[in-house]
């Protein structure tokens, strides 16, 4: 999707999506620039469990080995749709070159990969999947990068990371060979949220900007409104003595929502207990504490007096608490209600109409989360048991992507010659394409 | 390139082309130890010290000068010796590059009081920890009750008569009182954060890059380069891996100029031995005998290593029941900040963060209540205080801060020990005002900066064309004048500098990089004149903007425009209707003179100059300067004559 004005010179830049082009999931883009080949992200698709789960590497391997063809691989952040195929790619297909990512991504990514592997192999019984050892071997090929550090991949190819917001450690990358350059945004967020800052890039004038476009058509209602809505719902449920279940993934939104509730409880002087399920979430909060330089300005400034990730009102959850009388709020993993603690609690609480479940993110088809969101109220559980859902079911999107306005802002910051939209739906992209051509 | 030294070794200005870079700025606390401070809670001893008078008996100085065990001290609010600011106009300095947090202590003096308007670059840990150091300093000084600075002794005629080291103190008239927190905040707000290996473009002409120097959290060496010249500034580097990221050395080679400063101040001590004997012997011995240990220190840096060392030796050294106290207005912040800079730490510590665990074990010491930290002596500390104990506190000069109290409290007992680990101050001078002391004193400097063996290895590896360093490194230390190994030895010899000295370097810019537009490059027709060397003539417009030079295709002859304005094209390429021919070649002076004579000029004199010749036409009062790369006709009033001469010159040159 070109940007109208004629380019200065005619650099040879080729972009081949191996995964997400005009859809969301399994992000994987091959960029060839002045004779160098760089692979951007290596994600998996949560909706498939066959070949379509991973990107199509045969596009490269039919002509030779990955290591010979690729100069480097760059991972923008730890979400599985951006890094989930990495061990498969490096250990099973075979790649020995460098893989670049930021420090927080390098720290957190293997944990999520292991989680993903456990669910696929142990729960769903899939064979021919990558092993724990492969995850470890794959991570040995990772080179961590600092923000704004210019990494010299070889004599000609250099890459540079910029802050992207979105999740802890998310980065945008500039890829440069001589005077030709491409910027890949990964997923990003142009408005600071409760725990992260806004994406920023300098006026680097790339030949091509490859940007995500998940929310290409929406100018989203302000974050404040959604937050107020969320708090109101939780508050109402607690006031009427109900129990609130919030299924979350361990890292990311969980922390944002915890901060939100923590400050609300403080301000309103509420007494109902808030819990988060133990294990990963507690560990996750620890990552946020140690990588606090990656969070937003306010949290960084005040962390000595008060570390925002040390919660006063939020306590560790014990299985026995679920049967306690009276209102409570529980954050539990996993986020799609497909297994584990969140599902257990859900089964206990589903029958009472005073209770509420809030789904703060997207759910894949086949999961309990997806079923109740699509209106199903009678669920068949294992052992032919039927669970009747009487509790209130709410959906609330808290995922942090740039909306149309944000994308335009970033284009304005970087001043690219051309813009390429990926990681979105075809129709919405068409709309944004016109908008970009009009305004720039 | 013109380095100017602005203090004895830490501040340097480099005029790189038209650009000045400025390396600060280690604030020299009066390391010579003349400054004594009396804020001692119950210290009849110090306030009763006799005043000191001149030999002729005049006693007017006795309010300012005090005598203790044969040494003379100034009794005053502490003052600080600044980098030289008179020598250059700081408003002409474009950037300040900070190497590490110790080297930014004078920053508020520069940014707030000199007309400096440029940019300051530093890494995030440097700024955060630098802020803590300044905050502590300001806080300590504010607690000093003396309102008056001593000034009588600074009079040149009087200073001359004082005993050493007072009479040798430099630039006493420019010593200044401490800045305020407001000035600190304002100074820090002017800093632009940078990451290691980030390339920062300055005015399109120069690129600067900080590289890890391995000495402290966020400490950096700097590379300053243009397309054809490269200077590296290696300041406070370390090859010993303690907690910071190891030094980056890949970008150092091939430099034209290496500036080397802040080497180890303790070339004969082994810092690793010092760290390990610190806990296992010195500290353990004292504590076993029921004594207290005082460790004067800065609130960040070596203290992290010492705490880690204690952590390892707690059981083996019998320290399990001994409390550790860390007293500083920024103790809490420093301990917290140390845990959040994972990316700036050595590999082992990074790996811990990935687990995720705090990188430094002092988190565990705090959790288990072994280490307690307090903002000051007052408040909680006085009720928690238990002896025997280990106290870490500042200021390491022993001139102000809570350390003064502990020196007074414990100085009289030989059971107690003070252990000096900070290398910046001479421990003998630090202790002088407290003499006589019964307390044991152990000097165990932990200075991980480069020693001379490492420097000579580095120089072999890097092979710089020129080396510049402070004068003191080009000769053996005065106390060890036979130790020829304790100096920098390289070929060609290092050029040295002193405070307030301007150094001219044999370093000349010769080339400039110019980009050629593709369509212009396409049109070139190179001819091979020698095997491997081809030449082509280029007719183009040189477009220079932000110090970037681009050759663009020359404008086409004006097209008869059909009323349409082609604004865009004419914006890009400046109008120049007639293209002047391009000239090349050289002018043989003898033949040129003959030609002049042929054309009726007489009385011609030729003078040789350094760069070429001057042809004098005495009668016409006219000069023709012929140099390698230029020819000037200097002829004041006679345009006809100038044109005639020009045409004669042109005859010798080829035209394109």
pLDDT in tens, A382-395: 777 889 999 999 98
pLDDT band at B129 (very low <50, low <70, confident <90, very high): very high
Residue A1 lies in a domain: no
Pair A61, A181 in one domain:
yes
Q: Are A363 and A315 in the same domain?
A: yes
Q: Which of A255-259, B148-152, B201-205, B261-265 has the lowest mean pLDDT?
A: B148-152
Cβ contact, residue pair A290, B340, below 8 Å: yes
* Residues A405 and A390 grouped into a single domain: no
Residue indicated by tokens 């005998």: B289
Cα–Cα distance for residue pair A341/A336, rounded to 1 Å: 11
With a pLDDT cut of 90, the percent of chain B lying above it is: 24
Written as six digits, the tokens of A267 are 């301000």
> Which residue of the set A91, A114, A212, A227 is catalytic?
A212
**One domain for residues A58 and A82:** yes
Are B356 and A292 in contact (CB < 8 Å)?
Answer: no
pLDDT value of position B268 = 72
Claim to verify: residue A108 and residue A145 sit in the same structural domain? yes
For residue A330, the SS3 value is strand
Which two structure tokens, joined as six digits, stand for A395? 């959906």
Phi, psi of B272 (to 5 degrees): -70, -45
Burial class (CB in 10 A: 0-12, 13-18, 19+), A12: exposed
Q: Residue B125 pLDDT more than 70?
A: yes
Q: Is the pLDDT of residue A357 over 80?
A: yes
Closest to B96 measured CA to CA, from B197, B182, B180, B220: B220
Number of domains in chain A: 2
Structure tokens at B449: 């900066």
Backbone angles phi, psi at B175, to 5 degrees: -60, 140
Do A373 and A259 share a structural domain?
A: yes
In this structure, of B432-441, B566-575, B617-626, the range with the lowest mean pLDDT score is B566-575
Which of left, alpha, beta for A186 (phi over 0: left; psi -120 to 50: alpha)? left
Q: Which residue of A has its CA nearest to B344?
A: A146
A6 domain-assigned: no
CA distances (Å), origin B554, targets B256, B497, B557: 37, 49, 9
Residues B301, B303: Cα–Cα separation, whole Å: 5
What is the pLDDT averaged over residues B26-47? 35
Which residues touch B167 (CB under 8 Å, ≥6 apart)? Answer: B159, B160, B161
Interface touch A146/B195, C-beta < 8 Å:
yes
Place A330 in a pLDDT band, splitting at 50, 70 and 90: very high
**Tens digit of pLDDT for each residue in B506-555?**
767 778 889 898 888 888 888 888 888 888 888 889 988 877 889 988 87
CA dist., res. A83 & res. A323, Å (int): 38
Dihedral in degrees, nearest 10, Cα atoms B7, B12, B17, B20 = -90
| pLDDT score for A105 | 95
* Residue A42 maps to a domain: yes
CB contact under 8 A, A103 and B342: yes
Instruction: Tell whether A303 lies on the interface with B, counting CB pairs under 8 A.
Output: yes
Cα A89–Cα A95–Cα A100 angle in degrees, nearest 5: 85
Q: What is the DSSP code string of B522-574?
A: HT---EEEETTEEE-----EEEEETTEEEEEPPPPPPP---S---HHHHHHS-
Domains of chain B by range and CATH? 2-262+451-505 (3.60.15.10), 271-443 (3.40.50.10890), 583-655 (3.30.310)
* pTM of the shown model: 0.81
Q: What is the pLDDT of residue A144?
A: 94
Task: Give the pLDDT confidence of A361-378 residue by residue, as tens digits.
Answer: 767 777 888 899 889 999
Q: What is the pLDDT of residue B248?
A: 87
For residue B621, the SS3 value is coil
Q: Phi, psi at residue B385, to the nearest 5°?
A: -55, 120
Could A103 and B340 be called an inter-chain contact, meaning their C-beta atoms sit closer than 8 Å?
Answer: no
Interchain pair A150, B197: CB under 8 A:
yes
Rounded average pLDDT over A38-62? 86
Q: Which helix (H) or strand (E) holds B200?
A: strand B200-202
The answer to whether the beta carbons of residues B203 and B94 sit under 8 Å apart is yes
Q: Which of B100, B109, B160, B90 is nearest to B133 (CA)?
A: B100
| Confidence band for A243, pLDDT divided at 50, 70 and 90 | very high
Q: Do A304 and B333 touch (CB under 8 A)?
A: yes
- pLDDT for residue B602: 81
A271: which 2 tokens?
A: 């007494």
Confidence of residue B116 (pLDDT cuts 50, 70, 90): confident
Share the mean pLDDT of chain B. 80
For B332, the closest chain A residue by CA position comes to: A304
- Least Cα separation, residue B148 to chain A (angstroms): 35
Structure-token match 């970087």, residue found: A414
For residue A7, being part of any structural domain is answered with no
Is the Cβ–Cβ distance between A62 and A26 less than 8 Å? no
Using DSSP, state whether B499 is helix, strand or coil.
Answer: coil
Mutation target for A interface from B189, B197, B513: give the one with most A CBs within 10 A: B197
How does DSSP classify residue A161? E
Q: For residue A440, what pLDDT is reported?
A: 67
Contacts of B103 (CB under 8 A, 6+ apart): B10, B23, B24, B25, B26, B235, B236, B262
User: A192 is in which domain, residue-wise?
Assistant: 13-218+400-439
Q: Is residue A89 situated within a structural domain?
A: yes
Lowest mean pLDDT among B461-465, B558-562, B578-582: B558-562
Task: Please indicate whether, in this complex, the C-beta atoms of B517 and A9 are within 8 angstroms of each other.
Answer: yes
Task: Give B364's pLDDT tier (boundaries 50, 70, 90).
Answer: very high
Task: Write down the pLDDT at residue B38.
Answer: 30
E-strand spans in B236-340?
Answer: 257-261, 293-296, 324-327
A278 and A179 in a single domain? The answer is no
B335 pLDDT higher than 90: yes
| Cβ proximity of A38 and A74 under 8 Å | yes
Asked if residue B450 has pLDDT above 90, the reply is no
Q: How confident is the model at residue B348 (pLDDT cuts 50, 70, 90)?
A: very high
Residues A211 and A349 in one domain: no
pLDDT tens digits for B397-415? 888 889 988 998 999 999 9
What pLDDT score was predicted for residue A328? 95
- Under DSSP, the state recorded for A236 is H
Boundary residue ending a domain (A395, A415, A431): A395
Which A residues, 157 through 176, put their C-beta within 8 Å of a C-beta on chain B?
160
Considering CB atoms only, which of A144, A149, A291 is closest to B195? Answer: A149
Q: What confidence tier does B199 reach under pLDDT thresholds 50, 70, 90?
A: very high
Whether B494 contacts B469, CB under 8 Å? yes
Q: Scanning the structure block, which residue is given the tokens 């004969």?
A: B268
pLDDT of residue B70: 67
The pLDDT-based confidence of B218 (bands split at 50, 70, 90) is very high
Residues A242 and A200 grouped into a single domain: no
Q: Please name the member of A103, A283, A304 whose beta carbon is closest to the beta carbon of B343.
A: A103
CB contact under 8 A, A149 and B517: no
Q: What mean pLDDT do residues A63-89 have?
A: 93
Sign, CA dihedral B194-B199-B201-B206, equals positive
pLDDT of residue B310: 87
Residue B172: which of B159, B187, B186 has the closest Cα?
B159
Same structural domain, A129 and A115: yes
Percent of chain A with pLDDT over 70: 92
- Mean pLDDT taken over chain A: 86
- What is the mean predicted confidence (pLDDT) over A37-63? 86
The CATH number of whichever domain residue A141 belongs to comes to: 3.60.15.10
> Using an 8 Å Cβ cutoff, are B122 and B102 in contact?
no
Lowest mean pLDDT: which of A177-191, A253-267, B45-59, B482-496?
A: B45-59
Q: If you average pLDDT over each of A269-283, B147-161, B164-178, B184-198, which comes out highest? A: B184-198
Q: Which residue is it, tokens 């002087």?
A: A269
The more confidently predicted of residues A355 and B21 is A355
Contacts of B518 in chain A (CB under 8 A): 9-10
CA angle in degrees (0–180, nearest 5) for B393-B398-B401: 50
ipTM field: 0.83
Annotated catalytic residue A212? yes
- Could you tell me how many CB contacts below 8 A there are between chain A and chain B? 60
Higher pLDDT, A74 or B601: A74
Strand B371-374 relative to strand B466-470, pairing? unpaired
Under the banding of pLDDT at 50, 70 and 90, the label for residue A72 is: very high
Residue B352 with chain A: CB contacts under 8 Å:
none
CATH code of residue A267: 3.40.50.10890
Q: How much is the average pLDDT of B293-321?
A: 88
For B9-24, b/e burial (b = at least 16 CB within 10 A) is bbbbbbbbeebbbbbb
Q: How far does the CA of residue B191 sit from the closest CA of chain A (Å)?
A: 16
The whole-angstrom separation of Cα B200 and Cα A150 is 10
Q: Looking at the complex, does the CB of residue A200 fall below 8 Å from at least one CB of chain B? A: no
Quick check: is A407 in a domain? yes
Q: Which residue of B has its CA nearest to A149?
A: B198
* A210 three-state secondary structure: strand
My answer on whether A234 and A161 are in the same domain is no
Amino acid B2: pLDDT: 40
- What is the pLDDT at residue B43? 39
A200 and A77 in a common domain: yes
* pLDDT > 70? residue A432: yes
The shortest C-alpha distance from A280 to chain B (Å) reads 11
Highest-pLDDT range among A157-161, A306-310, A334-338, B96-100: A157-161
CA–CA dist A376, A388 (Å, integer): 9
A287 in a structural domain: yes
Q: Does residue A9 have a pLDDT over 60?
A: no
- Interval A180-214: pLDDT, tens: 999 999 999 888 888 889 999 999 999 999 998 87
Give the range among A331-340, A397-406, B25-34, B428-437 with minimum mean pLDDT.
B25-34
Is A44 within the bounds of a domain? yes
């Amino acid at each position: 999707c070109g940007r109208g004005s004629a380019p200065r010179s005619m650099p040879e830049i080729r972009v081949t999506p191996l995964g997400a082009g005009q859809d969301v999931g399994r992000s994987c883009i091959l960029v060839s620039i002045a004779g160098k080949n760089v692979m951007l992200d290596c994600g998996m698709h949560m909706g498939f469990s066959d070949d379509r789960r991973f990107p199509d590497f045969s596009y490269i391997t039919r002509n030779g080995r990955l290591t010979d063809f690729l100069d480097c691989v760059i991972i923008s952040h730890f979400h599985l749709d951006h890094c989930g195929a990495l061990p498969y790619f490096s250990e099973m297909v075979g790649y020995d070159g460098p893989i670049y990512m930021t420090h927080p991504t390098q720290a957190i990514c293997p944990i999520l990969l292991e989680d993903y592997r456990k669910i696929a192999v142990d729960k769903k019984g899939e064979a021919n999947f990558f092993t724990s050892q492969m995850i470890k071997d794959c991570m040995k090929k990772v080179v961590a990068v600092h923000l704004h550090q210019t990494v010299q991949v070889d004599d000609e190819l250099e890459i540079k990371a910029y802050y992207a917001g979105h999740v802890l450690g998310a980065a945008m990358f500039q890829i440069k060979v001589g005077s030709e350059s491409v910027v890949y945004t990964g997923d990003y967020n142009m408005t600071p949220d409760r725990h992260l800052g806004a994406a920023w890039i300098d006026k680097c004038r790339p030949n091509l900007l490859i940007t995500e476009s998940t929310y290409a058509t929406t100018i989203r209602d302000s974050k404040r409104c959604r937050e107020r809505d969320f708090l109101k719902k939780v508050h109402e449920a607690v006031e009427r003595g109900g129990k609130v279940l919030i299924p979350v993934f361990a890292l990311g939104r969980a922390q944002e929502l915890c901060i939100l509730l923590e400050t609300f409880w403080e301000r309103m002087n509420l007494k109902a207990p808030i819990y988060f399920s133990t294990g990963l979430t507690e560990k996750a909060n620890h990552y946020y504490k140690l990588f606090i330089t990656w969070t937003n300005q306010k949290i960084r400034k005040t962390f000595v007096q008060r570390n925002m990730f040390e919660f006063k009102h939020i306590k560790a959850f014990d299985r026995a608490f679920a049967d306690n009388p009276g209102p409570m709020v529980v954050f539990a993993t996993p986020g799609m209600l497909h297994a584990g603690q969140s599902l257990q609690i859900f089964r206990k609480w589903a029958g009472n109409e005073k209770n509420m479940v809030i789904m703060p993110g997207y759910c894949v088809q086949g999961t309990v989360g997806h079923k109740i969101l699509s209106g199903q109220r009678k669920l068949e559980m294992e052992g032919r048991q039927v669970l009747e859902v009487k509790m209130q079911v709410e959906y609330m999107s808290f995922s942090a992507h740039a909306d149309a306005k944000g994308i335009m802002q970033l284009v304005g910051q970087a001043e690219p010659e051309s813009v390429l939209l990926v990681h979105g739906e075809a129709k919405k992209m068409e709309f944004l394409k016109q908008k970009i051509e009009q305004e720039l | 390139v013109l380095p100017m030294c602005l203090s004895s070794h830490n501040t340097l200005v480099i005029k790189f082309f038209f650009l000045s870079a400025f390396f600060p700025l280690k604030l020299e606390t009066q390391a010579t130890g003349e400054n004594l401070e009396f804020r001692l809670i119950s210290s009849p001893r110090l306030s009763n010290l006799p005043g000191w008078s001149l030999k002729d008996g005049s006693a007017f100085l006795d309010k300012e000068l005090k005598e203790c065990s044969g040494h003379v001290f100034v009794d005053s609010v502490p003052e600080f010796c600044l980098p030289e600011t008179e020598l250059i106009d700081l408003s002409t300095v474009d950037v300040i590059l900070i190497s590490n947090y110790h080297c930014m202590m004078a920053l508020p003096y520069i940014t707030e009081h000199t007309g400096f308007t440029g940019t300051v670059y530093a890494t995030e840990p440097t700024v955060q920890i630098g802020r803590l150091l300044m905050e502590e300093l300001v806080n300590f000084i504010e607690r000093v009750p003396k309102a008056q600075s001593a000034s009588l002794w600074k009079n040149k005629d009087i200073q001359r008569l004082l005993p050493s080291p007072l009479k040798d103190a430099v630039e006493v008239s420019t010593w200044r009182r401490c800045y305020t927190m407001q000035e600190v905040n304002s100074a820090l707000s002017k800093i632009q954060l940078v990451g290691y290996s980030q390339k920062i473009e300055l005015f399109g002409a120069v690129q600067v890059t900080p590289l890890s120097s391995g000495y402290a959290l966020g400490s950096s060496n700097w590379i300053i380069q243009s397309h054809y010249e490269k200077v590296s500034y290696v300041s406070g580097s370390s090859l010993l891996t303690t907690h910071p990221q190891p030094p980056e050395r890949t970008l150092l080679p091939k430099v034209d100029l290496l500036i080397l400063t802040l080497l180890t101040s303790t070339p004969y001590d082994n810092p690793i031995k010092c760290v390990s004997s610190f806990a296992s012997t010195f500290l353990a011995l004292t504590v076993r005998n029921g004594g207290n240990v005082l460790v004067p220190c800065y609130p960040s840096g070596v203290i992290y290593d010492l705490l880690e060392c204690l952590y390892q030796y707690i059981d083996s050294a019998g320290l399990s029941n001994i409390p550790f106290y860390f007293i500083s207005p920024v103790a809490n912040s420093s301990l917290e900040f140390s845990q959040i800079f994972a990316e700036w730490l050595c590999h082992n510590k990074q790996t811990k963060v990935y687990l995720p665990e705090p990188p430094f074990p002092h988190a565990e010491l705090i959790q288990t209540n072994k280490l307690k930290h307090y903002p000051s002596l007052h408040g909680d500390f006085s009720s928690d205080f238990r002896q025997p104990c280990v106290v870490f506190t500042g200021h390491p000069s022993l001139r102000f801060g809570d350390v003064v109290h502990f020196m007074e409290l414990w100085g009289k007992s030989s059971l107690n020990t003070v252990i000096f680990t900070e290398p910046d101050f001479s421990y003998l001078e630090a202790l002088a005002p407290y003499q006589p002391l019964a307390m044991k004193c152990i000097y165990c400097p932990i200075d991980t900066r480069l020693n001379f063996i490492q420097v000579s290895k580095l120089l072999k590896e890097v092979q710089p064309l020129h080396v510049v360093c402070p004068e003191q490194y080009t000769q053996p230390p005065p106390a060890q004048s036979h130790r020829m190994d304790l100096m920098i030895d390289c070929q060609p010899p290092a050029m040295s500098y002193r405070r307030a000295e301007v150094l001219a370097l044999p370093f000349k810019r010769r080339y400039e990089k110019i980009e050629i537009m593709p369509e212009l490059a396409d049109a070139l027709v190179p001819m091979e004149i020698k095997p491997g060397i081809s030449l082509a003539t280029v007719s183009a417009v040189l477009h220079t903007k932000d110090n970037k030079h681009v050759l663009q295709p020359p404008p086409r002859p004006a097209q008869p425009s059909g009323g349409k304005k082609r604004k865009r094209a004419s914006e890009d390429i400046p109008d120049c209707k007639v293209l002047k021919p391009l000239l090349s070649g050289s002018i043989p002076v003898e033949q040129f003179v003959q030609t002049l004579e042929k054309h009726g000029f007489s009385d011609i004199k030729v003078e040789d100059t350094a760069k070429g010749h001057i042809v004098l036409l005495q009668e016409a009062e006219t000069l023709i300067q012929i140099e390698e790369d230029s020819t000037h006709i200097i002829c004041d009033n006679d345009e006809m004559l100038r044109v005639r001469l020009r045409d004669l010159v042109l005859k010798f040159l080829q035209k394109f």
